[in-house]
Amino acid sequence: MSWEASKDNLEARIDLHIHSNFSDSDSSVEDIFKIARLKGLCAIAITDHDTVDGMEEARRFSAIYSTELIEGIELSTQKEDTEIHVLGYFIDSSSQKLKEELSNIKKIRKERLCGMIEKLNQLDFNLDEKAIFARIKNAMPTRLHLALELLRKGRVKTLREAFDKYLSPGKPGYLSRIKYSIKEGIDLIKSYGGLAFLAHPHLIPEKSWIEEFVSLGIDGLEVVYPRFSPAKILLYKEMADRFGLLKSGGSDAHGSYKEFIQIGEVFAPYAWIIDMKKRINISK
């Protein structure tokens, strides 16, 4: 089904949380659209971490594979000591000012990764910084890239082990980085025409925080997510309705790096995109 036809089918399937190799997935943008087409998705959002570098390719493959693209991003923000991810939909990815702001985030991420490499080398890991960044190429540097290097060198047996032993808060290779506050992340998305959604709300340590985020201007809640039980989906749907929030959902697919879930295995109805478009007055 083409996305044009999906306008008449409110239950047509969508996946609004997908990562590409422009951040921490090994899926190319074209592969994402190929898989989406095979899975019968009429619309997808590519939501790479702190970057919109893949959107130019995504617009091209959206037309080729007749699959609607919702231009997105997943921003890393922070409240107290907790990292909170905010999804942005319908963001103006072509804005040069936005690209400059995200370029600064990329620089900070690179500096952080260099610091983590240095910490691990003090533990005799003998990591080659230049080789690591040669493999990262132009992608947004993430801890996942360092986990892959530890796996490649045989220092861990799984990516999960790399995070659990070395790369998570409190572990010997971890360094925190400067992040937006929740308010700054929401405002950034809105300033470039987007809608701000709270990603994977089950990871929020205090559910009372969600009401606070509503007061800060969050537009929606991710209510469908991998391994959510029907009861949990209902819980977040009711929460969204109670606060007058829009709804989103998706697989949070990372290619082979998150083998337990793939594009389209978790999906939401096209009606939710229609609701988003109404909120920001998009007619098509």
Burial of 66 (0-12, 13-18, 19+ CB in 10 A): middle
**Which of helix, strand or coil describes residue 98?**
helix
8 Å CB contact between 192 and 91:
yes
Least confident of 200-209, 222-231, 275-284: 275-284
**pLDDT tens, position by position, 53-103:** 999 999 999 999 999 999 999 999 999 888 899 999 999 999 999 999 999
Residue 29 is assigned to a structural domain of this protein: yes
DSSP letters for 176-223: ----EEHHHHHHHHHHTT-EEEE--GGG-S-THHHHHHHHTT--EEEE
Q: Above 80 in pLDDT, residue 222?
A: yes
Q: Looking at the structure, tell me whether residues 131 and 8 fall in a common domain.
A: no
**Angle, helix 55-64 to helix 29-38, in steps of 10 degrees:** 30
User: Total domain count for the chain?
Assistant: 2
Average pLDDT of the chain, as a whole number: 92
In the predicted structure, residue 7 carries a pLDDT above the cut 80: no
Q: What is the pLDDT of residue 30?
A: 98
Among 167, 192, 216, residue at a domain's last position: 167
Please tell me whether residues 130 and 237 are part of one structural domain.
no
Asked if residue 146 and residue 122 are part of one domain, the reply reads yes
Answer yes or no: is pLDDT of 12 > 90.
Answer: yes
Tokens of residue 126, six digits:
């003998």
Name which of 117-126, 231-240, 255-264 the model is least confident about.
255-264
Q: Which residue has the higher pLDDT, 169 or 268?
A: 268
Q: Are 67 and 40 contacting, i.e. CB atoms less than 8 angstroms apart?
A: no
Whether 275 and 244 have beta carbons less than 8 Å apart is answered as: no
What pLDDT score does 119 carry? 96
> Is pLDDT at 282 greater than 80 in this prediction?
no
Does 261 have pLDDT greater than 90?
no
78 and 110 belong to one structural domain: no
Shared domain check, 208 and 149: no
Evaluate if residue 243 carries a pLDDT over 90: yes
Interior angle at CA 61, CA 57 and CA 65, nearest 5 = 170
**80 and 108 assigned to the same domain:** no
Assess whether pLDDT exceeds 90 at residue 3: no
pLDDT at 161: 95
Residue 9's pLDDT is what? Answer: 76
Q: What is the pLDDT of residue 258?
A: 75
Residue 249 confidence (pLDDT):
97
pLDDT value at residue 81: 81
- Rounded (5°) CA angle 228-234-239: 110
Q: Check pLDDT > 80 for residue 259.
A: no
On whether both 147 and 259 belong to a single domain, the answer is: no
Q: What is the C-alpha end-to-end distance of the chain, expressed in Å?
A: 17
Asked whether residue 17 is assigned to any structural domain, the reply reads yes
Confidence of residue 1 (pLDDT cuts 50, 70, 90): very low
201 vs 177, higher pLDDT: 201
My answer on whether 15 and 149 are in the same domain is no
Q: Within this chain, do residues 116 and 36 fall inside the same structural domain, yes or no?
A: no
pLDDT of residue 6: 53
Statement: residue 283 has pLDDT above 70: no
Q: How confident is the model at residue 177 (pLDDT cuts 50, 70, 90)?
A: confident
The residue among 8 and 125 whose pLDDT is bigger is 125
Q: Is 190's pLDDT higher than 50?
A: yes
Where in the sequence is the domain holding 257, given as residue range(s)? Answer: 3-94+181-279
As beta bridge partners, residue 45 has: 70
